[in-house]
Amino acid sequence: MSETRMIWRRAVMVLLALCTLSCMRPAPELQLPRAGHLDPALWEGFRTRFISDGRVIDVDNGGITHSEGQGYGMLLAVAADDRHTFDGLFAWTKRTLARPDGLFAWRFGPCQQGAGDCVTDSNNASDGDLLIAWALLRAADRWGAEPYRQEAAGIAQALAAHQVVRRHGRLVLLPGVHGFDATEPGGVVTVNPSYWVFPALEQLAVAFAEGPWRQLAESGRNLLGEARFGAAKLAPDWLDISAGGLAPSARFEPRYGYNAVRVPLHLAWSVHSDPSLLAPYLRWWAEFGERPPPAWVDLVDGRVAEYAWSTGMAAVSQVARARVTHNVPPAATLPVPAADDGYYAWSLLLLSHLALAEMRQ
């Protein structure tokens, strides 16, 4: 063998060895921003209006409490450095909503005192479970309390075991244990795109690297790249996945509305934010010029709500625009709560404050 061929052979062997080593390296760890801080006045406004005896009260829906609200309340309490309220919220959640499988019932009361169990729907909601786990991880970091991390690990394990499944070639997050998966092999699966809380999934991916969280987030982004319907090409509140593809769910109104409004917030808050995924939302909002957009749009017939979006929805649009333009304004530029804003509008507004604070780091 000539000297030249020997040199080439050794070079190829070195390159193959380097490739093998690089392929064996784990994926780089996500670099997450520090958890943002919440303005004390905003937190006090939320706390006094919507939190009582350890539960967040959804005044927009007859005074019920749901796992989503508990998760939001816990997340905001961490941001406000209010450990007392955080502990009260989590204690009530565990005492009242905990299910045997490690998840949480999604809806509570209200009911008359002494009238028995006030959990009016014991099915879980995976966004609520995910938010609670995320809040616990942030609490563990902020207050140096490992028991919170252990609690989050249990919820994450339950979510992975019961809610993360592969269907029609996709890794998906089922909205609940019951009622959304296909009743027969290859049948329709219903998901909620807004349940992919990307910053929460990214936190779980860092804390529990052995779990499906990184892959689930990637699957969610791919799903949102395809789930674009109507003239505006927006994601629906509820989505059916079948062998034939994607469609607004036949079980719900085919709207971009009160659920899907969280999609651009979650996309913008993600460390892997993709401007192309946010572009349809910015285009739709821009169509209305100086007028406030409607609260929802039907993605089949184009009908829109007769009333405008809420303060919280307006705040979400500003977060999405800041992410796409790379011009992140101070949180003080966000709208202030309106007199008639309820639990959900306040929640979206305060979450937008956190997202902007973390984007400015």
Query: Is 68 tagged catalytic?
Result: yes
CATH number for the domain that contains residue 115: 1.50.10.10
In a domain, 85, yes or no: yes
Write out pLDDT tens, residues 210-254.
999 999 999 999 999 999 999 999 999 999 999 999 999 999 999
Q: Is residue 25 very low, low, confident or very high in pLDDT (cuts 50, 70, 90)?
A: very low
pLDDT value of residue 296: 98
Which pair of tokens denotes residue 73? 């309340």
Residue where the block lists tokens 């979450």? 351
For residue 105, the cross-strand partners are 124
In this prediction, residues 187-207 reach a mean pLDDT of 98
In a domain, 39, yes or no: yes
In a domain, 2, yes or no: no
List Cβ neighbours of 41 (8 Å cut-off, separation of 6 or more).
none
Among residues 58, 68, 181, 341, which one is catalytic?
68
Q: Is residue 116 very low, low, confident or very high in pLDDT (cuts 50, 70, 90)?
A: low
pLDDT of 361 > 90? The answer is no
C-alpha 306, offset from chain centre: 27
In a domain, 6, yes or no: no
Among residues 58, 82, 127, 341, which one is catalytic?
127
Pairwise pLDDT comparison (317 vs 13), residue with the higher score = 317
pLDDT of 7 > 80? The answer is no
In 3D space, the residue among 299, 126, 251, 111 whose CA is nearest the CA of residue 197 turns out to be: 126
In a domain, 58, yes or no: yes
In a domain, 19, yes or no: no
pLDDT value of residue 17: 37
Domain total of the chain: 1
In a domain, 3, yes or no: no
Pure H helices in the chain: 3-24, 40-50, 67-79, 83-97, 126-143, 146-162, 198-207, 213-226, 262-269, 275-286, 311-325, 343-359
DSSP 341: -
In a domain, 18, yes or no: no
Which pair of tokens denotes residue 317? 């649009």
Between 67-79 and 343-359, two packed helices, what is the crossing angle to 10 degrees? 40
DSSP 287: T
What is the share, in percent, of the chain residues with pLDDT greater than 70? 91
Would you say the C-alpha torsion 75, 225, 345, 316 has a positive or negative sign? positive
Write out pLDDT tens, residues 168-178.
999 999 999 99
Query: Is 127 tagged catalytic?
Result: yes
In this prediction, residues 115-134 reach a mean pLDDT of 91
> Where in the sequence is the domain holding 264, given as residue range(s)?
27-359
